[in-house]
Structure 1
Amino acid sequence: MTTDVTIVVATRDRREQLLDLLPRHTGPVIVVDNGSADGTPAAVARAFPEVRVVALGRNAGAGAARNVGVALADTPFVAFADDDSYWAPGALDRAAALLRRHPRTGLLTGEVRVGPQGRRDPVSAAQARAPLGTAPGAPGPSVLGFLACAVVLRRAAYEQVGGFAERLGTYGEEALLAMDLAAAGWQLAYVPELVAHHLPAPTGRDPRARHRVEARNRVLTAALRRPAAVVRAVVADAWRDPAGRAGVYDAARELRWVLRHRRRLPAGVEAALTVLARGDAVPGGVSPTAPSLAG
């Protein structure tokens, strides 16, 4: 059983799937419930008395739920799982060993295998191509993004940057955290041997509503950290369809919040994001935290 990694599971209205998957978690587990109407907190508490259950009583969003879970964890490392995912046996022990061996690494993201067939998620396939190369002393290729269900973090790094921005809620909230960790000097690395299984339900959330929130969060993330030209490009891309346009209007309502929290990224992180946006592969690698680029 993994003792150095706490697994934080954010959930909402997926009681049966969560109950099916909780036995697959090895290590201490904290379940944070986002206002489920299906009796999830009580059901988990009855079936798994060793699991700590926190009922928020409202849908605060996945990022806020994870922040609550991390604040309650007392292990040096934290792994995230969704109510439809679990880590492969041995993955978290291996992640803890790598984080102990690589003190400058703040986040490890593993390979996501989707469905019963275990096909590799496209995000993992893109990370495996390693367009940013591998930073000196890192346990794997550098990344500047991740799927939340497939990360293990150093708790001190997470707390240093304030965790997820709760204003972003759910969907696309990972991008800002990745930027902030890199801006703070932490390495983020892809390690494919750390496998996370994702078993999405056949019928998920409302796809149009999800697209609207994703567009909103892309615009907000760009406005919080990126140059004006990038913000304009993100807005133009979102504007192509009605749900995206609605997301842009939603983001515009947050202008005062953005102005209070806007800060530009170090030059090295911005350069790495530009490489990723162009789809370039850099033979020598671009380290988002390299002093020569950080400015």
Structure 2
Amino acid sequence: MNDAGNDLSAAKAPTKISVVVLTYNRSEQVLDTLARLNALPDRFHLIVVDNGSTDGTPEHIAAHFPEVTLVSAQKNLGAAGRNFGVASASTEYVAFCDDDMWWHPGSLSRAVELLDSAPRVGVLSARVLVDEAGETDATCRLMARSPLDATGLPGPSLIGYIAGSCVFRTSLYRQIGGYEPRFFIGGEETLVALDVLANGFTIVYAEELIVHHHPSPLRDSALRRRMLARNAAWVAWMRLSWREAWRETRGAVHAMRREGAFVRDALALFAALPWALSRRQPVPREIERMREAVRRSEALADAWRHRP
């Protein structure tokens, strides 16, 4: 009788985690992703943010998955569309995936267990398996070898995470303010990650959590590379030392020259300087030391891979 009572209590217990799926003009792909998420054994609240699609995506979602919480943005907000999803979440934790990604069975439940048992952890970054072959994403392989101190943590300590395969404490996400709309997309996690660390939380690579990624062919890689470089410079102006700001700005200028859009991109980069400096809140020196340790470790790993 006691066992039956415990089972009933567990069944009635409210879910502690939501999943926010961000989509834009990929109707068929997001429907497939939602079907995969709906088939999971985990208990979670499913929220989809449509980033102003023009291909009928919200109507298709409403028709096929009426039980899903659907949030429609008026235009494509890039990564900041996720902020609307979190605003609709009423759970303690919130997981993210994009319309070409989905969580592996059991991973969401395990994420709840890890965060419940580790109050210092603000963000869990999952292992991403790419395409049908299921190869571990190269960024995740680097995360697994993080040189940072992970004492007392449920996995390697990180200075960043992957936006489409992570789990946040909802209150922390809201406290930080989520993603900066001006960044649109491309390295949008960096500013958030710095603010997570500056607020006294850690970011952990949880290899046992798995997200599958079948990258959509509908992407502009050149645009993403340019935005990555631009956003890295903006983040440095806002949070890092002047030395780092100069290094990242120089890197952004080189990237813009390579991509053949120097004048337009450089004007956008430097026109935002007053905006970025008005939001300048440098992180503690310890966080910069963490970044330097990771950079040295990755440089050594790269040199070892390309040894003669």
Calculate the TM-score normalised by the size of structure 2.
Answer: 0.86
Mapping for residues 44-63 of structure 1, pairs under 5 Å: 44-62=61-79
Aligned to 2:184: 169
Select the residue among 100, 104, 121 that pairs with 2:137: 121
**Residue segments in structure 2 that go unaligned for 5+ positions in a row:** 1-10, 300-308
Aligned to 1:11: 23
Mapping for residues 200-239 of structure 1, pairs under 5 Å: 200-201=215-216, 203-239=217-253
Judge conservation of contact 1:219–1:234 (CA < 8 Å) in 2: yes
1:155-198 CA distance string (max 9 Å, x none): 11111211112221111100110110000001111110000111
1:240-273 CA distance string (max 9 Å, x none): 2423745443221111211110111012111101
Select the residue among 94, 97, 106 that pairs with 2:110: 94
Give the aligned CA root-mean-square deviation in angstroms: 1.7
Judge conservation of contact 1:131–1:280 (CA < 8 Å) in 2: no
Judge conservation of contact 1:106–1:186 (CA < 8 Å) in 2: yes
Give 3-state SS (helix, strand or coil) of 1:79's partner. strand
Select the residue among 256, 264, 269 that pairs with 2:282: 264
Displacement of 1:87: 0.6
Give 3-state SS (helix, strand or coil) of 2:157's partner. coil
Change (3 A) 1:280 1:35: closer
**Residue segments in structure 1 that go unaligned for 5+ positions in a row:** 282-295
Residue 198 (structure 1) aligned with residue 213 (structure 2): yes
C-alpha distance in 1 between matches for 2:205 and 2:265:
30
- Bigger drift between 267-276 and 204-213 goes to 204-213
Q: What letter corresponds to residue 20 of structure 1 in structure 2?
A: D
Mapping for residues 108-187 of structure 1, pairs under 5 Å: 108-134=124-150, 136-187=151-202
Question: Hey, which bits of structure 1, 4+ residues long, moved more than 4 A?
Answer: none
Identity, % of aligned positions: 40
Larger Rg: 2
Calculate the TM-score normalised by the size of structure 1.
Answer: 0.90
C-alpha distance in 2 between matches for 1:112 and 1:280:
19
